[in-house]
Amino acid sequence: MFDAECNFCRFWIARWQQVTGDRVDYISFQDPSIDQRFAELPRSRFEQAVQLIETDGRVYSGAEAVFRSLAYAMRWPLWAYQNIPGVAPISELFYGVVASNRTAFSFITRLLWGHDPVPPAYVAVRWLFLRLLGVVYLIAFVSLWVQIIGLIGHNGIVPADQVMNALGRATDSLGWKRFIVEPTFCWFRTDDAFLKLQCAAGTALGIFVCFGVAQRLSLFLLWALYLSLATICREFLSFQWDNLLLETGLLGIIFAPGGLRPATELALPISKTGLWLLRWLLFRLMFASGGVKLLSGDPTWRDLTALNYYYETQPLPPWVAWYAHHLPAWWHKTSTVLMYGTEIFVPFLIFMPRRFRLIACVCEILLQLSIAITGNYGFFNLLTIVLCVVLLDDRLLHRFAPERLRAWFGRARTRGQDKPPDPILQSNDQSLKIQAIGRSLNRILTVTIAVLVLTVSSMLLVVMFRWRIEWPRPLIGLYSSTAPFRSINNYGLFSVMTTNRPEIIVEGSNDGQKWLAYEFKWKPGDLKRRPGFVAPHQPRLDWQMWFAALGDYRQNQWFINFCYRLLQAKPEVIRLLQTNPFPNAPPKYIRAVVYEYNFTDRRTRKRDGTWWRREFKGYYCPTISLRAEPAENRSLFNIPP
C-alpha cells in the first residue's frame, strides 16, 4: 500500500513492480475500497509509511515492508536487514527521513533517473556494443595482416620461427604448461602461411560477430587468436590498446548472447555481470589514465604545460596536431584541466544513476574524439568509444535509432518471444538435464572470470597508487598465473611527457660517403611531407621507431635485425617502408642517425612549405654491413655489436 499522489512513491513502486512481478499486488491508499478491505488498519498508518499486508494477515511497515516485498524476487536485502547489525536501524532512519521529505526526494529522483519509472533495458545496447567490438577486431586483424610477414615472417624483422625456437628451449622442461606460459598457436606451426591464416581467421570471425552469428563462440576464438598473435609478435603488439582489446574481448564473451543465430539475439536476456564488468573496465581505463599523470611526479603535468609539448612529441602526429601545437598557452592549460576532470572525476559517474551515467558517456566520448582528431593511436580511441556504449540504455538508443532499425528490433524480439520450444529439448529429461548443466557451467565460468577481473584489477589499482601492501601469496600467485594472458591490465598513457622529439633516420650507402635515407610511410622524415592520418590502422614499425629513439640500439635488438634485413633487401620488410633509395641492389652499409624534430612556425611553413625543422644530434648505432658468409646462415639473434 502506497501514496499515489507522491511522485517519489509512484516512481519506486513502479520499479519494485518490475522486480516482483505479479507476486505482490500494489494498491494506493487513495483507492476508495481501502477502508472496506482493511478496516482494521487506520488510514493514518497508510499515510505515514508503506504497508505490506501478507496473506496470513501479518502487517509490516516502513523499510521492513520494502525489504519483505522485494524478498519475493531477491532475498539478500531482507537477509541483510535481519542479520547484519546496524542495517535495520539505519534503514528505518533513512526511510523516516525520506517519508518526511517526499517533495525534496521526488525532485532528486527526477534529477537522477528522469520521469520514466521503468528500469532501463540493455538488449539493444548489447546488440550495438557487440557489433562495434566486431568492427574493432576486424580492423585489428586486417591491420596486422598486411604487416605481419614483414614483422615476424620467415624473412621478417623478428622471425616467428626463431622466436619459437628460443621459447622452446626456455620452456622445454614445462611440457604442456608452455601453452599457459606462452599462449600461442605458433607452438604448432610458425610458417608464413600459418601466420596469415590466423589473421584471416580473425577477420572472418570479426565479420561473424558483426552479423550476430554465434557471437559468444566467435568472441572466444577472436580472443584466443589475438592472444596468440600478441604472444608471438611481442614488442610489435605490446601496446596498451592491444591489452585493452584482449580484456574487452574476454568480458565480451560473458556479455554476448549464447545463441547461434542473430534472429533470436534480441530475445535473449543480457548478462548483468558482463555489463558491470565492462563498466568497471572503462572506469579503470579512464581513472588510471588520469591517476598515473598526477602520481608520476612529472613537472609538465603538475604545472599544466604538458600539452605545450604533446602535439609535436607524440608518436605519429597528424597535420591537425601542427595547428593544435600553435594554440595559445591558456588553451593548453584549460585543455589539461578538462582532461584531468574527464579522466579522474567523471569516471565515478559511471556507477551513478542514469542521467549522470549518460553525462559520463558524453564526456568520455568527446575526450576520445579530441584525441583521435589530433593523434594516430590505432584502434584505441574507437575501442574506448565502444566501451562507452555500455553506459547507454535501450530507451536512448530507440529514441535516436532510424525508424527501420527500431522496427527490426521490434520484429526480432517478437520472433524470439514467439519461437516454439525446441522439440529436442522436449523429447526427454536427459536433454533438459544437459541444458541445465550447461547453464550451471556457464554461471560458474562467469563468476570465476568476474572474481579474477575484480581481484587482479583491484590489486593493479592499488599498485598504481603506490600503497605498500604485503599481498598474500595466493593473490600474488593469482596475478602471476593471469599475466601471460594479458587480459587483466593496468592502464595509463603518457604518465611522463616527452618534451623533445628525437627521430631516427635510417640511411644506406655503397661507398660510405654518399648516404641516402629510407623514408617511412607515416613517421616524420621528409621535412616538407605533411603529417597524415592513419588510424585506425596502426603501422607497427613506425610506432616502434618512436620508442626506439627514446632509448639505445642495444636495448632494441629488433632494430639491428631491421637494419640487416635492409642490407639483405628482403622485400617483405621493404614493403613496410614508403621509399627504397636502392631499388636495384641493396646498399653495402646501413647507419642510423638521430635528429631532433620540431614543428615549424607559421611564417616558416608559409615561406618554405616545411612542416618540420630538425637539428642533428648524433649517431644512433654504428655503421652496419653484412659479414662475408651468406646472410641466410646468420641468426638474427646473434648479431655482433
For the chain, give the longest Cα–Cα distance.
109
Look up cell 574476454; give the residue. 250
- Identify the pLDDT of residue 417: 47
pLDDT value for 462: 81
How far apart are the C-alpha atoms of 475 and 488, rounded to whole Å? 14
pLDDT of residue 425: 43
The span from the first CA to the last CA of the chain, in angstroms, equals 84
Burial of residue 634, with CB atoms counted within 10 A of its CB: 0-12 exposed, 13-18 middle, 19 or more buried: middle
Asked whether the beta carbons of 118 and 18 are under 8 A apart, the reply is yes
Which pLDDT value is given to residue 596? 97
Pairing of strands 519-520, 51-53: unpaired
Going from the C-alpha of 157 to that of each of 557, 628, 634, the distances in angstroms are: 10, 21, 13
Position 30 scores a pLDDT of 64
pLDDT at 176: 86
- Residue 641's Cβ-count burial label (10 Å; 0-12, 13-18, 19+) is exposed
Residue with cell 635488438: 557
C-alpha cell at 411: 520484429
Q: What is the pLDDT of residues 448-460, one digit of tens each?
A: 888 889 888 888 8
Which pLDDT tens digit goes with each residue over 261-293? Answer: 776 677 788 899 999 999 999 999 999 999 999
Q: Which three cell numbers stand for residue 602?
A: 607559421
> Measured between alpha carbons, how far is 320 from 444 in angstroms, rounded to an integer?
49
Q: Where are the domains of the chain?
A: 7-113, 123-485, 502-633
Q: What is the CA radius of gyration of the chain?
A: 30
Neighbour tally for 3: CB within 10 Å? 20
Q: What parts of the chain have a pLDDT lower than 70?
A: 1-10, 12, 15, 29-47, 115-117, 263-264, 408-436, 438, 466-468, 627-641
